[in-house]
């Protein structure tokens, strides 16, 4: 996918042409006849993952903090990415792990100091992301004013998928329902219009500090509803117009 984005940038017609070629060649039917095939993450190893903290006011309030006056941006490790139906591994030294349903934006072309009004031109598409968090580790790091990378970037703690939806199918401004279910129980439910900072603003803001490249991922924050999961639980992140990202929690 990185090679495709490097070649075609943000042009959905370029990716549509590839899809049409695959359909015409009968590759999908061939794979189906050959047996089950697995969906990988849309970007198994993105160049960078920028994530937003407290970008939904209700989530900020449940965290006991004020709604931020500027975006809170942290990083997740690219090596933490897994795909649809992959397992999230609950490390034996952890005591609390929380899932977080998020809409993720995939960047389609290089840019820095991007004006807000031009930011939509840099979007390749959208996908679902589960910002799995070692909450016990995060609390320690917050109390010591340490970065969040180790609590957010543990191996398997970034499920992404099930696929990339292009910008000709999802239009700005975004008003997409977002939901997290654990074992069928609704834990989080909101709409992306509730975000404090919208997608164009986030792209512009982040590009002031970091040059964005094709395949970079921006995860836009999570609604309220922090509750832990345990080995055996099945998490489902659903974003309207994209689909359902499903992952099981397993013991190390």
Give me the mean pLDDT over the 216-232 stretch: 98
Q: From start to end of 11-107, where are the E strands?
A: 49-53, 72-76, 81-82, 87-90, 97-98, 101-107
**pLDDT per position as a tens digit, 227-245:** 999 999 999 999 999 999 9
Whole-number Å distance between alpha carbons of 197 and 16: 30
Which H or E run includes 124?
A: strand 123-130
Q: Measure Cα distances from 182 to 44, 93, 102, 147, 213 in Å.
A: 24, 22, 15, 28, 34
Q: Measure Cα distances from 105 to 13, 87, 126 in Å.
A: 18, 23, 5
- Sequence-separated (6 or more) residues with CB below 8 Å from residue 168: 12, 16
Question: Residue 91 maps to which CATH number?
Answer: 3.90.850.10
Neighbours of 56 (CB within 10 A): 25
Q: Token pair of 71, please? A: 């975006």
Cβ atoms of residues 96 and 228 within 8 Å:
yes
Cβ atoms of residues 101 and 63 within 8 Å:
no
User: Cα 137 from chain centroid?
Assistant: 21
Cβ atoms of residues 163 and 157 within 8 Å:
no
Helix, strand, coil share (%) of the chain residues, nearest 5: 30, 30, 40
Give me the mean pLDDT over the 15-39 stretch: 69
End-to-end CA, the chain: 30
Report the SS3 class of residue 28. Answer: helix
Structural domain count of the chain: 1
**pLDDT per position as a tens digit, 33-91:** 555 678 899 999 999 999 999 999 999 998 888 899 999 999 999 999 999 999 999 99
**Mean per-residue pLDDT over the chain, rounded:** 93
Domain that holds residue 16: 2-251
**0.85 exceeded by the pTM?**
yes
Phi-psi region of 144 (alpha: psi -120 to 50; beta: other; left: phi over 0): alpha
Cβ atoms of residues 187 and 204 within 8 Å:
no
**pLDDT per position as a tens digit, 95-129:** 999 999 999 999 999 999 999 999 999 999 999 99
């Amino acid at each position: 996918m990185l090679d495709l984005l490097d070649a075609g940038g943000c042009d959905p017609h370029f990716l549509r042409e590839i899809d049409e070629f695959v359909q015409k060649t009968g590759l999908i039917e061939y794979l189906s006849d050959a047996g089950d095939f697995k969906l990988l993450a849309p970007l198994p190893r993105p160049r960078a993952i920028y994530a937003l903290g407290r970008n939904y006011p209700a989530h900020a309030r449940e965290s006991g903090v004020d709604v931020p006056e500027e975006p809170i941006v942290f990083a997740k490790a690219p090596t933490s990415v897994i795909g649809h139906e992959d397992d999230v591994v609950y490390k034996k030294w952890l005591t609390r792990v929380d899932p977080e349903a998020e809409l993720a934006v995939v960047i389609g072309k290089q840019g820095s100091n991007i004006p807000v009004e031009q930011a939509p031109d840099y979007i390749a598409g959208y996908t679902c992301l589960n910002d799995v968090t070692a909450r016990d580790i995060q609390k320690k790091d917050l109390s010591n004013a340490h970065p969040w990378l180790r609590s957010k970037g543990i191996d398997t703690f970034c499920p992404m998928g099930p696929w990339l939806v292009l910008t000709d199918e999802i239009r700005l401004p975004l008003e997409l329902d977002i939901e997290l279910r654990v074992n069928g129980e609704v834990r989080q439910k909101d709409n992306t219009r509730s975000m404090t900072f919208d997608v164009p603003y986030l792209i512009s803001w982040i590009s002031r500090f970091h040059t964005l490249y094709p395949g970079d991922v921006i995860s836009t924050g999570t609604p309220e509803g922090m509750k832990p999961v345990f080995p055996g639980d099945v998490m489902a992140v659903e974003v309207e117009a994209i689909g359902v990202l499903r992952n099981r929690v397993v013991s190390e």
